[in-house]
Amino acid sequence: MADQLPSTPKLDELEKGKWPSFVTEIKMAAKRSPMAADLLGQLEQSYREKIGYWKHGGIVGVMGYGGGVIGRYSALPKEYPGISHFHTMRINQPAGWFYTSDSLRKICDIWEKHGSGLTNMHGSTGDIILLGCRTEELEPVFDELQKIDFDIGGSGSDLRTPSCCCGMARCEWACYDTMALTHDLTMHYQDELHRPAFPYKFKFKMSGCPNDCVASIARSDLSIIGIWRDEIQIDKAAVTEYAEKGMDIQSDVVNNCPGKCINWDGKEITIDDSFCRHCMHCINVMPKALRPGKDRGAMLLIGSKAPIIEGAFLSSILVPFIKIEPPYTELKDLVDKIWDLWCEEGKNRERVGEFIQRVGLSAFLDEIEVEPIPEMVAHPRENPYVFYEDYEDDDEDDK
């Protein structure tokens, strides 16, 4: 079938060079799938004419689900009939993106049969992205996915597919079990994930420590980041070992500490943990010698998102420390309160971070019954526009 591939002089340029080529991937798929072949053709035209040829998506889906499928149609269906429909299915990945070859092959088989044979491993939110499907194939795909126990992820104004770093599975710094929490929350909130009922999307991301390997502080409405609150564990012998092997502990470690709380006397490291800002740098540089403390849990931060519409946000501290242990009741209670309030009072297409900034953090805290604490702010207010609580009436003025 190779001779059926369209001529793609522009795209062929993208098969050169050492980085794995997506064009090569599409060509591989195109050997079997006319959808992929037409994708090649349309893409070549885009490359020639410097513009995309996709129509604004319509609503398509799978029975019983309100999301998880992104409708997509070519703007040039006559020229490229194979991609007249080219929908995306978002499939909820297993926590931490771990697989067996067996499970992956089963997905491939389904996708060979019903779709374009193209995927994203993974989408930017974390889903397995099955790229390119006709409307009538959506149900059959889902049918087969059921059999291998893979379910659909989020899209639209719902909970989006939660994701997490590999955490305890592969990393020594995980301050809580990111994969366990991710799986639990995903299961617990299946309805919210599958049936859009929020003002807008909502994302959870879990990182095991402040290195934040899933970028949760930048990309999730609720960022759950592992942290400790006791002393950094120091292995003195290992410190000596690093020094002997030539590490310049003063300049590499001490001088880079934002808390300015590490002392190195040429022999021993001491840390004034009461000034430690939990940045991870010293631990990152000396993983053999330093480890997070033993009293571990997570920090909850709220509100990050991409720029539309109020500008991009980073998440900000909501709860500085919380123990993360099944059944995670405290966390879930808090999430429920936040959602109740936001669903009640949030505007259409208003992310929770935007909602908080609109109503004010204090008012938000008040409603979800969380006490304000100084850890939530970089500094107290600089402007004098204070909404003081109730004033006293003159009548009471009998002093």
Partner 1 sequence: MAEAMQERRTDYGPPHYEQFLPPIIKENYGKWKYHELLKPGVLVHVSESGAKLFTVRAASGRLVSIDKIRMFCDLADKYCDGYMRFTSRHNAEFLLSKSENVDPLIADLAKIGHPIGGIGNAITSIVHTQGWVHCHSAATDASGIVKCVMDDLIEYFEETKLPGKLRIALACCLNMCGAVHCSDIAILGVHRRPPVIDHTKVKKMCEIPNVSASCPTAAIRPATVDGLPSVEVIEDRCMFCANCYTVCPAMPLNDPVNDGVSIWVGGKVSNARHEPMFSKLFIPYIPNNPPRWPEVTTAIRQIVEIWAANANKYERLGEWIERIGWPKFFKMTGVEFQSEHIDDFKHAGLTFKRSTHITF
- 317-376 binders of ligand SRM (CB under 6 A): 351
Cα–Cα distances (Å) from 167 to 5, 204, 217, 243, in that order, read 43, 15, 16, 28
Determine, following the binding rule CB under 6 A, whether residue 301 of this chain makes contact with ligand SRM. no
Pick from 100, 326, 383, 390 the residue near a second copy by CB under 8 A. 383
Partner whose footprint covers residue 305, from ligand SRM, ligand SF4, a second copy, none (CB < 5 to 8 Å by kind): ligand SRM
70: part of which helix (H) or strand (E)? strand 69-70
Decide if residue 259 touches ligand SF4 (CB under 6 A).
Answer: yes
**Residue 265 or 371 with smaller CB distance to partner 1:** 371
Return the residue of 28, 108, 187, 312 that touches a second copy, per CB under 8 A: 312
384 binds partner 1 (CB under 8 A): yes
Residue type at 22? F
Tell me which residues in 151-170 interact with ligand SF4 (CB under 6 A). Answer: 165-167
Which of 75, 171, 257, 279 contacts ligand SRM by CB under 6 A?
A: 171
| Reduced 3-state DSSP string for 277-301 | CCCCHHHHHCCCCEECCCCEEEEEE
Q: In the set 41, 72, 138, 159, which binds partner 1 (CB under 8 A)?
A: 72
Residue 322 CB, nearest distance to partner 1 (Å)? Answer: 13
Token pair 């429909």: residue: 85
- Using the rule CB under 6 A, give the single segment among 33-41, 127-135, 202-210, 351-359 that binds ligand SF4: 202-210
Site for partner 1 in 269-298 (CB under 8 A): 273-281, 284-285, 287-288, 291
Total residues at interface with a second copy (CB under 8 A): 7
Stretch that binds ligand SRM, among 13-21, 42-50, 169-177, 332-340 (CB under 6 A): 169-177
* Of 234 and 370, CB closest to ligand SF4: 234
How many of the chain's residues bind partner 1 (CB under 8 A)? 171
Helices 329-345 and 361-368, interaxial angle, to 10°?
120
CB 297, CB 322: distance < 8 Å: yes
With CB under 8 A as the contact rule, the residue among 369, 371, 382, 394 that binds a second copy is 382
Sign of CA dihedral 291, 296, 301, 307: positive
72 contacts 87 by C-beta, under 8 angstroms: yes
Contact 115, 141 (CB under 8 A): yes
**Is 90 among the residues that bind ligand SRM (CB under 6 A)?**
yes
Q: Rounded to an integer, what distance in angstroms lies between the CA atom of residue 23 and that of residue 1?
A: 17
Among 173, 189, 313, 342, binds ligand SF4 (CB under 6 A): 173
Whether residue 257 contacts residue 273, with contact meaning beta carbons closer than 8 Å, is answered with no
Does residue 125 interact with ligand SRM by CB under 6 A?
Answer: yes
20 contact choice in partner 1, ligand SRM, ligand SF4, none (CB below 5 to 8 Å, kind-dependent): partner 1
Report the largest interatomic distance among the alpha carbons of the chain, rounded to a whole angstrom.
97
Round to whole Å and give the CA distance between 317 and 303.
Answer: 9
User: Which of 133, 299, 335, 338 touches partner 1 by CB under 8 A?
Assistant: 299
Please pick, from the candidates 35, 129, 180, 262, the single residue that binds ligand SF4 as defined by CB under 6 A.
262
Distance CA 55, CA 118 (A): 20
Distances (CA, A) of 21 to 25, 26, 377: 7, 9, 45
Distance CA 305, CA 361 (A): 17
Task: Answer whether 270's CB lies under 8 Å from 284's CB.
Answer: no
What is residue 156's DSSP assignment? Answer: S
Binding residues (CB under 8 A) for a second copy: these are: 307, 311-312, 382-385
Binding residues (CB under 6 A) for ligand SF4: these are: 165-167, 171, 173-174, 207-209, 211-213, 257-259, 261-262, 271, 276-283
